[in-house]
Amino acid sequence: MSQHSSFRRRATRLITSGAVVATGLLVLSACSTGAEEGGDSEYGFAAAEQVADSPITVWVDASREPAVTAFQEAYPDIDVVLETYDGNAGGSGSFQSKISLMDQAGDGWPDVVFSTQQNDAIWASKDTPNGEAGFAAPLNKGFIEQDFLDGFAAGSLDYATIDDTVYGLRNDLAQTVFYYNQKLLDEFGYEVPTTWEEYAELGDQLAAEHPGYILGSMGDSFMTYVYYGGSESPVFQSPEAGVFHSDTSDENAQKISEIIDGMLENGTLVQDSFFSAEFAANYADKLVGVPGPVWYTGAIFQGGLATPAGEIGVAPPLSWEGGDVAAGNVGGGIWYASRHSENLEAVKTFLEFVTSADEFQVEASSGYPAYTSAAEKWLDKQAEAGYFVNDDFKTVMSDAANQIWSGWNVTPWSPETAWAKVVIPGMAEGETVVSLLPAWQTELENEATVNGYTVE
């Protein structure tokens, strides 16, 4: 080997390693660009430097797209970039995962996010692992006027409120009631059940006399809220921050599980998701009654099942015989603003519009608006359309909102994932819910531990 070529080889090696180091530095420096924060402003938090008229990015699930469309029509001057995601449905956690990525990157956050879950404020209000402020902007420290916030139904902002700071605006209320099909009840000569026991008896009767007709479905994991929250079963409790309690051996949990098992057995509860094409195809005219949140009105009856006006009635939530009326709470989406937004004025206009303006909440939203003035108009609209058979549906619905059982709490993880992982596949295999309860509880407690909670 000549001196010459060995020198050249060394030079090449040097150049190569130089290039490698340079690339490495480039990559590292790209990672460490932090968000630039402006001073403590009129918003009550350290806002990013504002850029007038900059576009705002909004994440919604498919059902909330009309909100963005309505906003764009009402405010054509504000540039909105619409991005659809799964809305965190089923406790998928995609909201948090995506934001964590952006926190890590220090860039790319959306300005407004809609989530179908109630627990996001817990993580979104906390500092990131890097020690920077959490994603959600505090709303009641100067950003949004107290007058506007006072317009929400009492207690409806509780899930998004942590230590007196409001981090999210409620889209819709989600108290459970009992829906019934008056036409079918009349035809069969049945009464509307008022207790869980009567609900089970109706199931037995229906299965024996009119097989093929149903009283609900267990195919969605949010049934945890409907059947366990609604039956006052102490399955998902966080009596204080950092403490988790679950007791599936409790009498209520056992009783409601036995009722579910009996109705799965006799076929009055099915296992297709309410949102599946099969459910609409097979059961649109077979659903005699069902406990469910008030958003079933638009999302299920007027939506998927396309039940005509004048058939459906609304009764108070089911209770135990001799017990108090207690409603479950099934979601009720929440809108969050990003603390990193560069156009907070537009964000504010957007949030106020989608939660309170008639164009979305009254005209296009499927649920029961959380903003009181919009809720009244929404109820009037249903009354005008003569959708419900009973005249007192307004009081039934608004009473139920105040009867939500306080023994079901929110934590950083969703109760739905454990149900989906353990109970839904078990039911599909033909196992009884009662037999799956211990495994469900173990999974819930394991999740609690992973999330740093103490199980008591």
Partner 1 sequence: MSAGQSRFGYVFVSGYTLLLVAFGLLPTLYALFLSFTRNGVFVGFDNFVRVFNDYRFLPAVGHVALYVVFWLISLIVLVVVLAIVVHGIRVRWLGDTARFLFYIPGAIAGASSVLLWLFVLDPSVSPVSALLRAMGYESLVNVVAVGNLPVVFTVIAFWAGAGGWIVIMYGALNNISADIMEAARIDGAGALQVAWHIQLPMLTKWISYMGIMSLAAGTQLFVEPKVLAQATKNVVPEDYSLNQLAYLYAFRQGDFSGSAAISVMLLVVALGLSTIFIFRGKLFERD
Q: Which residues are near partner 1 by CB under 8 A?
A: 5, 8, 12, 16, 19-20, 23-24, 27-28, 86, 89-94, 96-98, 100-101, 104, 123, 128-129, 220-221, 271-272, 276-278, 416-417, 420-421, 424-425, 428-429, 446, 449-451
> What's the CA gap between 435 and 426, in Å, rounded?
9
Query: Alpha-carbon distance 449 to 429, whole Å?
Result: 28
- Calpha distance 334→167 (Å, rounded): 9
C-alpha–C-alpha distance, residues 274 and 291, integer Å: 12
Q: What angle do CA 151, 152, 153 make, to 5 degrees?
A: 120
* 219/289 with CB nearer partner 1: 219
How near is the Cβ of 8 to partner 1 at its closest, in Å? 7
**Shortest approach of partner 1 to residue 5 CB, angstroms?**
6
- At its nearest, how many Å lie between partner 1 and the CB of residue 233? 21
Q: Least distance to partner 1 from the beta carbon of 427, Å?
A: 8
Q: Which is nearer to partner 1, 186 or 278 (CB)?
A: 278
Residue 95 or 405: the one with the smaller Cβ distance to partner 1 is 95
- Of 30 and 309, the one with the shorter C-beta distance to partner 1 is 30
What angle, 0 to 180 degrees and rounded to 10, lies between the N-to-C axes of helices 344-356 and 65-74?
110
From 112, 113, 108, select the one nearest 94 (Cα to Cα). 113
Secondary structure (3-state) at 125: coil
> What residues have CB less than 8 Å from 85, skipping those under 6 apart?
59, 60, 61, 94, 95, 98
Please list, in sequence order, all residues whose beta carbon lies within 8 angstroms of the beta carbon of residue 264, skipping any fewer than 6 positions away.
Answer: 218, 271, 427, 433
State which residue, 132 or 250, has the beta carbon closest to partner 1: 132
CB of 365: closest distance to partner 1 in angstroms? 23
Q: Which is nearer to partner 1, 172 or 443 (CB)?
A: 443
Minimum distance between the CB of residue 305 and partner 1, rounded to whole angstroms?
17
